[in-house]
Amino acid sequence: MSSFTRKGDFWAGLVMAALGVFVVTQAYAWDYMTEDGPGAGFFPLWYGAVMVVLSLLLVAGAVLKEGAKAKAVRWDDMRRAMTCWIAFSVCVGIIKFVGFMLAFGLLIWFIIAVMFGRPQRIALPYAIAGAVGFYALFTLALELQLPAGTLF
């Protein structure tokens, strides 16, 4: 087995490329453009295509750096990344119940206050401004509807 196949970047890149191909194939089933503008397939198609390209670059980097010595896993960084992904997943999970604005505001607050340990006087204004900013951009400027929750 080659040394590059023992690297996480190689396998992660292949998995992400496969996910990107899946996203692109699913997006083809949706409308790319409608008479009102970009359709449901517009963003996923481009997102999936960019995911495939970047993933393949990650794979290529792992193959081209075959002789490079592997770095030790930095577990603190891994823990922080996984905590962020879990927080994001929880945010997506609660959107249906509390609505986009509150869920997104809580996510911003969690990242700033809990993960980075910043004081509430910094975390709360950023969380409120981020949620209101997304609302203003998508709902008011782009006239798109953000998910509303059953509670709010």
Which sequence spans correspond to the domains of the chain? 1-71, 73-152
Query: Cα angle at 132 between 33 and 117, to 5 degrees?
Result: 120
The string of pLDDT tens digits covering residues 22-58 is: 989 998 888 888 887 777 888 888 888 999 999 999 8
Determine which helix (DSSP H) or strand (DSSP E) holds 93, and give its type and residue range: helix 75-98
Strand partners, 37: 34
**Dihedrals phi, psi of 36, to nearest 5 degrees:** -90, -5
The structure's pTM equals 0.57
Q: What are phi and psi of 101, to 5 degrees?
A: -60, -50
Mean pLDDT of 12-25: 89
One-letter amino acid for residue 130 of the chain? G
pLDDT digits (tens, 9 = 90+) for 49-82: 999 999 999 888 888 876 656 566 677 777 888 8
Q: With a cut of 90, say whether residue 113 has pLDDT above it.
A: yes
